[in-house]
Structure 1
Amino acid sequence: MENVMNNNNTLSLAIMSGKGGVGKTNIALNLGYALHQAKMKAILMDCDLGLANLDVLLGISPERNLRDLLQTGVNAEDVVVAIENGFDMLPATSGIPELVEMDEDMQDILFKKLVLLAGSYDFLMLDLGAGISHTVLSFAELSQLRIVVVTPEPTSMTDSYAMIKVLVTQHQVKDFLIVVNQATNANEANQTFERLAAACKNFLDIDLMNLGFVHQDQTLVESVRRQTPLMKFAPDAPASKDIRGLAKKIMRYREDNLERIAGRPILKNFPSE
């Protein structure tokens, strides 16, 4: 894909998981909200193109979605939905098989329109579907940074390792930030990260980065029922404080790497160092 924007200040984040049910979309939504609360401009794109649910978490019914963007030639601005002033989303749609496995032409159309839109934001956040579909891998490969959400469950760690392995061995991607979600305490979170990190070091020869963890929090369950982001529903809840900590680290990363970011297109992975 050609470099549409040469002076880029937008950090693209792919938020992903090896399996469903680990709270990835809630992490993506509330991380975006935390960035917004810190005066950052962020746009969150629902990239779970087969089973979209960001709109459900927000209790909204968008008039347009990514299907319109791809099939009717509308501009990305026409599809954007404002969550708050300075925090926007691009909604997807569910049950459309051809969007799950987009061909290269469709991907090229989407990526070019997305890059033109995202240049006015500090963060482009891509909430990817779970697993290793072709579309998920394409978004993950092109993003400047990847956040993998895992839980302490063995199946989550196993599936996360498998997803990371595919990206490392088949797409030459080597940098991953890990968030342990639904942890009962810091010790459990650290043990989960260390087990996954050890496997990736031993078998893939890569070093994972520990972004942090989010407590298991019943308040989050209630916020989902009320279709309100946790950061807005209960800003002082334990999970809210954890997510605010993740946001601070992400902002620090962007600030420390602005020169590096400016030298790359918004959707173009950093070369391995």
Structure 2
Amino acid sequence: MRILAVSSGKGGVGKTNVVANLAAALEKKGLHTVVFDADLGLANIDVLLGLSPKRDIRHVFAGECRLRDIMIKTPYGFEVIPASSGVSEFTRLDPSEKLLLKEQFEEVTQGVDFFLFDLGAGISDNVLFFNLVAQERIVITVPEPTAMADAYALIKLLYTRHGLKRIYLLVNLVKDPREGKQVYQQIVQVAERFLGPVGLTYLGAIREDPSVSRAVRRQEPFVVAFPQSPASEDLLRIRDKLLKLKPEEEGGLEALWSQNLSSLS
């Protein structure tokens, strides 16, 4: 199983939409995928996909059910663990809540090939914690100065405070593939100048495409609704590149939780 945390320094870069489409694209390859909506107090992915969860993460923390009980199977094959909406107390998990998640994750990862944490924007405690728990990290940005600066700030924090090097950059909403590579080169040049060899890997770029907004209005992944669109072509290339990247073995989910639970308690 591969565990990826998907983050963005800034909101509004299309992160959750990319996560949903990546999950659908992985399922197209026969790779069973689970998405954990780890923006725990501001649920997004269920709205994006038109899902109506009867229970969510707050019911798990209240002891009313377990993680496996709130999982939703989407029409696209992958499963979603939904967050709560407008619940501020979950924006920073306490040690007992982190431990509760750790104890129940084994049940929701049986037979799973990819586990994706869809994180909130910024550098909150939860964002850092789930990045630490993951084996690999995707940072999403767009070709806009503040979004690029915030993406660099997140990468800097992950590297300098926690020594994380397995980071991939994905650039969304580009005019053409060349613009995506330019954004990557700008960020990596700054990172290498001030941080040293961060090891930032370019995962790819997704072009601006009206099919994306049409799919959002239909509450479907664009790789399903418009499989021949430019954005879908780009997303599938990103999926295929991701499959070629081999993560370093870090002992599996149980070991990762155990290693990092105390460091961010």
Q: Scaled by the length of structure 2, what TM-score is found? A: 0.92
Structure 1 residues 204 and 266, CA gap change in structure 2 (3 angstroms): farther
- Kindly state the Cα deviation for residue 248 of structure 1 after the two structures are TM-superposed: 1.2
Check conservation: 1:14, 1:139, Cα contact below 8 A: yes
Q: Any idea what SS the aligned residue of 2:130 has?
A: helix
Q: Any idea what SS the aligned residue of 2:65 has?
A: coil
Find out whether 1:264 has 2:256 as its counterpart.
no
Partner of 2:228: 236
Q: Cα deviations across residues 196-238 of structure 1 (Å, max 9, x unaligned)?
A: 1111111111121001110111110111111111111101110
Partner of 2:112: 121
Find out whether 1:187 has 2:178 as its counterpart.
yes
Check conservation: 1:143, 1:267, Cα contact below 8 A: no
What is the distance in 2 between the residues matched to 1:211 and 1:238? 16
Match of 1:212 among 192, 204, 207: 204
Partner of 1:67: 58
Equivalence map 1:105-184=2 (5 Å): 105-184=96-175
Match of 2:27 among 19, 36, 40: 36
Match of 1:249 among 241, 244, 262: 241
Check conservation: 1:142, 1:267, Cα contact below 8 A: no
Unaligned stretches of 5+ residues in structure 2: 260-265
Find out whether 1:99 has 2:87 as its counterpart.
no
Structure 1 residues 85 and 19, CA gap change in structure 2 (3 angstroms): closer
What is the distance in 1 between the residues matched to 2:141 and 2:86? 25
Q: Any idea what SS the aligned residue of 1:167 has?
A: helix
What is the distance in 2 between the residues matched to 1:41 and 1:150? 26
Equivalence map 1:37-52=2 (5 Å): 37-52=28-43
Q: Which stretch of the first structure deviates more once superposed, 199-208 or 85-94?
A: 85-94
Check conservation: 1:143, 1:266, Cα contact below 8 A: no
Find out whether 1:223 has 2:215 as its counterpart.
yes
Check conservation: 2:6, 2:139, Cα contact below 8 A: yes
- RCO comparison, higher one (Cα < 8 Å, 6+): 1
Aligned residues: 257
- Kindly state the Cα deviation for residue 86 of structure 1 after the two structures are TM-superposed: 4.0
Check conservation: 1:12, 1:266, Cα contact below 8 A: no
- Kindly state the Cα deviation for residue 183 of structure 1 after the two structures are TM-superposed: 0.5
Q: Any idea what SS the aligned residue of 1:268 has?
A: helix
What is the distance in 1 between the residues matched to 2:157 and 2:64? 33
Q: Return the letter of the residue paired with 1:268.
A: L
Q: Any idea what SS the aligned residue of 1:63 has?
A: coil
- Kindly state the Cα deviation for residue 111 of structure 1 after the two structures are TM-superposed: 2.6
Find out whether 1:81 has 2:79 as its counterpart.
no
Check conservation: 1:178, 1:209, Cα contact below 8 A: yes
Structure 1 residues 230 and 266, CA gap change in structure 2 (3 angstroms): farther
Partner of 2:262: none
Check conservation: 2:16, 2:118, Cα contact below 8 A: yes
Aligned residues: CA RMSD:
1.7
What is the distance in 2 between the residues matched to 1:142 and 1:202? 28
Check conservation: 2:102, 2:254, Cα contact below 8 A: no
Q: Percent identity?
A: 37
- Kindly state the Cα deviation for residue 50 of structure 1 after the two structures are TM-superposed: 2.3
Q: Any idea what SS the aligned residue of 1:93 has?
A: coil
Q: Return the letter of the residue paired with 1:123.
A: F
Unaligned stretches of 5+ residues in structure 1: 1-9
What is the distance in 2 between the residues matched to 1:211 and 1:242? 11
- Kindly state the Cα deviation for residue 33 of structure 1 after the two structures are TM-superposed: 0.4
Q: Any idea what SS the aligned residue of 2:253 has?
A: coil
- Kindly state the Cα deviation for residue 63 of structure 1 after the two structures are TM-superposed: 0.4
Partner of 2:263: none
Q: Scaled by the length of structure 1, what TM-score is found? A: 0.89
What is the distance in 2 between the residues matched to 1:47 and 1:267? 20
